Copies of this chain bind each other. A is one copy, B any other.
Amino acid sequence: MTVVESIDPRTGQTVEVVAPETTGDDVARVCAAAADAAPALEALGRTGRARMLRLMADALEEDRETLVALTDRETALGAPRLGGELTRTTFQLRFFADVLDDGGYLEVTIDHAGATPMGPRPDLRRMLRPLGPVAVFGASNFPFAFSVSGGDTASALAAGCPVVVKAHESHPASSARQLAALRRGAEAAGAPAATVDAVFGRDAGVALVDDPHVDAVGFTGSVAGGRALHDRASLRPRPIPFYGELGALNALTVTPAAARERAVAIGEGLAASFTLGVGQFCTKPGLAFVPAGPDGDAVVAALAGRVRETAAAVMLNARTREGFASGVDALRGAAGVRVLVGPPVDPAAAAVAPVLLEADAGQVTEPMLEECFGPVLVVARYASSDELLAALAAVGPALTATVQTGDDDELAAPLLTHLTARAGRVVWNGYPTGVAVSWAMHHGGPYPATTAPLHTSVGAASIRRWLRPVSFQDVPSELLPAELRDEATDLPRRVDGRLVLGTPPAR
């Protein structure tokens, strides 16, 4: 029997065997149980599920010390970062409870019967309802926030969809322990045991995408792996939505005015951003356009200085480290690339040092246009606005696009127009690596940033992925879902074409 091992990336040693890999039969049983649990989870209602999410957050908080220590041992991300990530994760669960309390996500729409130019129209009432069991693929780089207890799970449970997580190989012990906390929260809320479960092993992940009981997939990971699963989900006898967040270069542009005004701040900020979490962020900037000439030189000098001071650090696992090493090799070998900071990566060493490379903007080619996961940044120096815009035109879509501008910057408007068409989030005079959990966040983007450009995996709107509309035509009021009845005034509704605010009960 193949087993799932918990490995310490600092030593490369197996610390414990967490579980056997989930067999195909067990995946089928878990998914069937999730489907059976769906009606009861839906029947909990918005109030019941909001309570469940808060109880899940409580259960995670109660286990904080052990969860952080265990997860650090499996990921080497460090207790401070992981403590912050767990805070974000429990905040996120509670945030979705607030989304449920608000109720606007249901898009309740009521058209009373009436006359139209085509004749009488029946009474029509539309709302969103849960899609069914959801498969969530945890990511390696955010072992809480994009893993078992992360955003996909929180938003799917909020929607009323049971979740089956495919635990990431890189932190199986943390996955199992998070799952236990979530299940304690579900139990305390009176939700079915199968509200949330997990499977282990790559084959189990593939079986999950194929399973007839699974109605949608949330995925965060590599382009290669994500694309293969996307295609598989699309070609099923019954295709299902596949929400894959894959790769992003997240280019950043420093205008001449910005370089003139705050070269040192930008250089230092950029260094901090691309080395944060050992560069293991989906929003890590991988390419920075900096003007040629003295102002740009000052940006690069500050950047290089800060990079040289940044200590080597342990990456998530051997596979990630090997991918980083080969990616850096390819970048170093690309025509026109100059190495500013960083020796060749030693694939045998646990810790890697950040790498800073430089090229002329006219020479930006593959592999500089592809994401290299880890602490590496290519600085592309441009001699003119025309050269900058030509180089940007070759940069593909991404989760983010960042601009550093100066006062009265003539490049600001054209850059914004160009970047808005190609990114999910445009960041102004900041850095892309922070992703707030909020109502207005969009974490997504055109392919290859994601496989589903209409959707986000972070923020309130991410619940939309797990819901489908149903219209009720002339259904008697007493049979309607509570939210669709005329007297349900506690949530926002569109009634006869006009939006009406909800009057939430005092809590």
Contacts and interface: CB of A to CB of B under 8 A. Distances in A.
Contacts of A448: 238
A475 B400 CA distance: 13
Given A91-B117, A454-B464, A471 B230 contact: no
Given A84-B118, A87-B117, A501-B499, A110 B440 contact: yes
A504 B456 CA distance: 29
**Candidate in A121, A438, A472 with the most chain B CB atoms within 10 angstroms:** A438
Given A87-B117, A98-B497, A453 B241 contact: yes
A66 interface: no
Interface stretch (A46-54, A314-322, A418-426): A418-426
A437 to B, nearest CB: 8
Interface stretch (A71-79, A165-173, A351-359, A427-435): A427-435
A446 interface: yes
A231 B472 CA distance: 31
A224 interface: no
A413 B234 contact: no
A409 to B, nearest CB: 10
Contacts of A492: 499
Interface of A: 84, 87-88, 91, 98, 102, 104, 107, 109-111, 116-118, 121-122, 124-126, 129, 131, 230-231, 234-235, 238-239, 241, 412-413, 416, 420, 423-430, 434, 436-442, 444, 446-448, 451-454, 456, 459-461, 464-465, 467-476, 479, 492, 494, 496-497, 499, 501-502
B126 A428 contact: no
A420 B425 CA distance: 36
Contacts of A98: 497
Contact of A453 (B428, B468, B494): B468
Nearest to A476: B428
Given A467-B454, A471-B425, A430 B122 contact: yes
Contact of A456 (B121, B469, B476): B469
7 contacts: A126-B440, A126-B461, A412-B476, A428-B475, A429-B474, A441-B471, A454-B465
A193 B89 CA distance: 50
Contacts of A111: 436, 438-441
Given A439-B109, A471-B424, A231 B241 contact: no
Contacts of A501: 499, 501
A441 B126 contact: yes
A496 B427 CA distance: 19
Contacts of A429: 474
A138 to B, nearest CB: 20
Contacts of A88: 117-118
B107 A461 contact: yes
Interface of A, helix, strand, loop or mixed by DSSP: mixed
**Candidate in A126, A460, A474 with the most chain B CB atoms within 10 angstroms:** A126
Given A124-B441, A492-B499, A420 B470 contact: yes
Given A111-B439, A428-B474, A454-B468, 20 more contacts: A102-B497, A116-B437, A122-B436, A124-B440, A126-B441, A126-B442, A231-B235, A239-B451, A241-B453, A416-B475, A420-B472, A425-B470, A425-B471, A427-B473, A428-B475, A428-B476, A429-B474, A454-B465, A499-B499, A501-B501
**Candidate in A420, A439, A456, A474 with the most chain B CB atoms within 10 angstroms:** A439
Nearest to A454: B468
**Candidate in A131, A454, A461, A471 with the most chain B CB atoms within 10 angstroms:** A471
Contacts of A460: 109
Contacts of A234: 230-231, 234-235, 239
Given A231-B234, A447-B238, A473 B425 contact: yes
A429 B113 CA distance: 14
Query: 7 nearest interchain CB pairs?
Result: A234-B234, A442-B471, A124-B440, A109-B440, A111-B440, A126-B440, A442-B469
A129 B469 contact: no
Contacts of A110: 440
A430 B121 contact: no
Contacts of A124: 436, 438, 440-441
Contacts of A499: 102, 104, 492, 499, 501-502
Given A439-B111, A440-B109, A440-B126, A454 B87 contact: no
B91 A116 contact: yes
Contacts of A87: 117-118
Contacts of A494: 104, 439-440
